[in-house]
Structure 1
């Protein structure tokens, strides 16, 4: 297993949550994503991507296309060849499976949660590094803001020249994570919670696990 495999599985979860919303609601009923989820200055690319997301309807062909190797590579920053290999690895071990109706890859939510809860921090550990500018993660990220007292500690950040926060650098779970989160607010939230599991003490990990479980299971 590679760390990018976990990132790809989380992306599949995000897509599945979006699909459920699309199939339940018309385009007019979907709630627009507020700008507050970003910890960087909004770029023109962000605006274009948001417009594309709002144009998504219940067109099944378009929905299925988002699960193609090409589309997953574009969304995560992982190369097409690596996306293909990653999907095969995850299906071999049961962490991903094929949707029988649509023939698209789906994450096995229960098994993925088991791994994130019990194995992630041992297989893909993380530690704080030097002071730098970047995008907030772990308990400094918007998804966890105000959930625990920080006692004045410096925030954890993924190094990024366009980030808004100055803090201690943390290597993201996979190399292109900061690209992937710019395309999906739910991906940002989940990766930040994953970092809280990788970096936190028991009480912090338990909170992050609880929040991640709720987000992954809600709407599926």
Structure 2
């Protein structure tokens, strides 16, 4: 087993992609294809996540409570983000579902993406392929947008994101 040198941002992406499958069977090659991440990197990511206690050692069952705890208490510190320049992209954070129905705001946050639908402040996704993967999987999109809310949101938005993540993960 390789030495564990800490988690990487796409480890969260892979875990939440598994969560979006809602207990349906999955294969590493499917995750690789759907996320645009190499199969070897998916395998290494799952090894890191198993070492960290976020997935079981057999890499089949998510440790959902541990994932939620990490997202809520650590995500904004380990993978911080400051909104960038205004550009065209795909809505994220409170600008995307499920929070866009609850929060009225003049500022929009987006992942930079050429085929994007709105203009807003740029938020770097946890992995460059996240915007494309989210367009194909609505539940995964919600997970990733909620994670961005934890990374850049204000207190009220963060509390709402925590509750929404709890509903979807547990």
**Please, what TM-score do these two structures have when normalized by structure 2?**
0.91
Quote the RMSD (CA, aligned, Å). 1.4
Q: Structure 2: where are the runs of 5+ without partners?
A: 1-6
Q: CA deviation at 1:146?
A: 2.7
Quote the Cα distance in structure 2 between the aligned partners of 1:132 and 1:116.
Answer: 27
Q: CA deviation at 1:104?
A: 5.6
Alignment of 1:121-160 (within 5 A): 121-150=76-105, 152-153=106-107, 155-160=108-113
Quote the Cα distance in structure 1 between the aligned partners of 2:116 and 2:98.
Answer: 16
Q: CA deviation at 1:199?
A: 0.4
Match of 1:75 in 2: 34
Alignment of 1:161-176 (within 5 A): 161-176=114-129
Q: Structure 1: where are the runs of 5+ without partners?
A: 20-62
Contact conserved, 1:13 with 1:106, CA < 8 A, in 2? no
Quote the Cα distance in structure 2 between the aligned partners of 1:91 and 1:167.
Answer: 36
Contact conserved, 1:139 with 1:192, CA < 8 A, in 2? yes
Contact conserved, 2:88 with 2:110, CA < 8 A, in 1? yes
Contact conserved, 1:12 with 1:105, CA < 8 A, in 2? no
Contact conserved, 1:138 with 1:195, CA < 8 A, in 2? yes
**Please, what TM-score do these two structures have when normalized by structure 1?**
0.71
Match of 1:89 in 2: 48
**Is 1:212–2:165 an aligned residue pair?**
yes
Structure of larger gyration radius: 1
Quote the Cα distance in structure 1 between the aligned partners of 2:77 and 2:134.
Answer: 24
Match of 1:4 in 2: 10
Quote the Cα distance in structure 1 between the aligned partners of 2:104 and 2:133.
Answer: 29
Quote the Cα distance in structure 1 between the aligned partners of 2:157 and 2:31.
Answer: 31
Runs of 4 or more consecutive aligned structure 1 residues displaced over 4 Å after TM superposition: none
The structure 2 residue matched to 1:177, chosen from 127, 130, 133, is 130
The structure 2 residue matched to 1:115, chosen from 52, 65, 70, is 70
Contact conserved, 1:134 with 1:164, CA < 8 A, in 2? yes
SS state at 2:98 partner? helix
